[in-house]
Chains A and B, each alone.
Chain A
């Protein structure tokens, strides 16, 4: 599984990043969460609101920071 957090470094982006890392850890997954901050790459995902969470190329979250439990569910169920 590949997990990416897209964001340019605003506070909400950092929030989503750290929460995603927490979620991954709590789920006991051995995955490194990749941070995508290059604006070209972000736009290439076809999104316009950040932060965003991408799991296996699929945009699951955009423009908001879900709660930890919701993030865990999103990561496991897709």
Chain B
């Protein structure tokens, strides 16, 4: 079905504009048209459909659900909920404090916070559409695994020692007040669901469209102008150091998944190893300076450094391992 977009690009580039098939500009433009149309088509449909399903889900209910769950399942649940819950990074702090107040272990909260930016509907849809289902499943699996291991590690080092006083006071406060009135599953009419889904669509598209353009633009440029040999020779799996370098590069390159995936698509097609590509993607979306600044409000510097170092080590490890597994 998604072939339609290739045909569309064929018609525009080769029939209407009469560009030569082998030229670099034609290749880049073809990539750009095919990807832009495909991505927006997928995004509109999937965000709307997921919005319909998600209209009744809220973080307050998740908190109640996570409260008092056994540790081990807690990490998986935390990461799993992180994957399905939408949340804007400006909510990180109230969410962190809210979970803390409910005496959910900090590691489980971190599982949630690590997985949340890595896995979201936009990322999943684009991965499936552009890179294929296999890649999508690997990505989701790793995103959850990284969240779980990260959470376990944070608890293992007793990270609650390194919380800011405000978070500390939440932990000891007696006033645990889950907002029960608003936490009941609401019955929703289809009209309301539709309104919610439409709102989500507007909000998400409004936020990500520019990333998509930047990402596809860069992807198209790489596609047309950077020779394959360059990537294979310089950044192939033979060069183990390319993985940590890719992860480090990903930090200042703050982007979200929608901009990252078209770039990853080209890099993969040009022969960048799967592990390196994935490590780079995850580091770009999960570890960023804005996140750092936000978390600074509840974490002492020491914990922040540990947290980011932990992410870097995990992404690097994942990259190295995937690079030696044949796909």
A residues engaging B (CB < 8 A)? 7-8, 10-13, 39-40, 42-50, 59, 62-66
- In the complex where A48-B63, A59-B182, A64-B203 touch, is A10 in contact with B98 (Cβ < 8 A)? no
Q: Which of B142-186 contact A (CB under 8 A)?
A: 166, 170, 175, 177-179, 182
Whether A50 lies near B60 (C-beta < 8 A) is no
Whether A40 lies near B95 (C-beta < 8 A) is no
A-B contact count (CB 8 A): 66
Report chain A residues within 8 Å CB of B60: 46-48
Whether B95 lies near A48 (C-beta < 8 A) is yes
Measured CA separation A30–B191 after assembly (Å) = 33
Report chain A residues within 8 Å CB of B233: none
| 23 CB < 8 A contacts A-B | A7-B90, A8-B90, A10-B88, A43-B170, A44-B175, A44-B177, A45-B179, A46-B98, A46-B177, A47-B94, A47-B179, A48-B59, A48-B94, A48-B97, A48-B99, A49-B58, A49-B59, A49-B88, A59-B179, A62-B58, A63-B58, A64-B199, A65-B203
Q: Which of B78-121 contact A (CB under 8 A)?
A: 87-88, 90-91, 93-95, 97-99, 101
Q: Is B67 an interface residue (CB 8 A)?
A: no
Measured CA separation A62–B175 after assembly (Å) = 21
Measured CA separation A50–B95 after assembly (Å) = 9
Minimum CB–CB distance for A40 against chain B, Å: 7
Whether B98 lies near A47 (C-beta < 8 A) is yes
Main secondary structure of the interface of B (DSSP, over half): helix
Sorted from nearest, which 5 A-B pairs have the closest CB atoms? A10-B90, A46-B179, A48-B98, A48-B95, A49-B91
Whether A49 lies near B199 (C-beta < 8 A) is no
Q: Which of B170-222 contact A (CB under 8 A)?
A: 170, 175, 177-179, 182, 199, 203
Q: Is B297 an interface residue (CB 8 A)?
A: yes
Whether A13 lies near B179 (C-beta < 8 A) is no
From A42, A50, A66, residue with most partner B Cβ within 10 Å: A50
Report chain B residues within 8 Å CB of A63: 58-59, 87-88, 91
Measured CA separation A66–B94 after assembly (Å) = 20
Report chain A residues within 8 Å CB of B178: 46
Report chain B residues within 8 Å CB of A44: 175, 177
Partner of B95 from A45, A49, A64 at Cβ < 8 Å = A49
Whether A50 lies near B179 (C-beta < 8 A) is no
- In the complex where A50-B91, A63-B91 touch, is A43 in contact with B98 (Cβ < 8 A)? yes
Measured CA separation A50–B294 after assembly (Å) = 14
Measured CA separation A11–B98 after assembly (Å) = 21
Partner of A48 from B91, B166, B175, B203 at Cβ < 8 Å = B91
From B59, B90, B94, residue with most partner A Cβ within 10 Å: B94
Minimum CB–CB distance for B38 against chain A, Å: 28
Report chain B residues within 8 Å CB of A11: 90
Report chain A residues within 8 Å CB of B203: 64-65
- In the complex where A48-B98, A49-B58 touch, is A8 in contact with B93 (Cβ < 8 A)? yes
From B88, B166, B182, residue with most partner A Cβ within 10 Å: B88
Minimum CB–CB distance for B70 against chain A, Å: 22
Q: Which residue of B lies closest to A46 (CB)?
A: B179
- In the complex where A46-B60, A46-B177, A64-B199 touch, is A39 in contact with B97 (Cβ < 8 A)? yes
Whether B94 lies near A39 (C-beta < 8 A) is yes
Whether A39 lies near B88 (C-beta < 8 A) is no
Measured CA separation A5–B305 after assembly (Å) = 33
Measured CA separation A50–B93 after assembly (Å) = 10
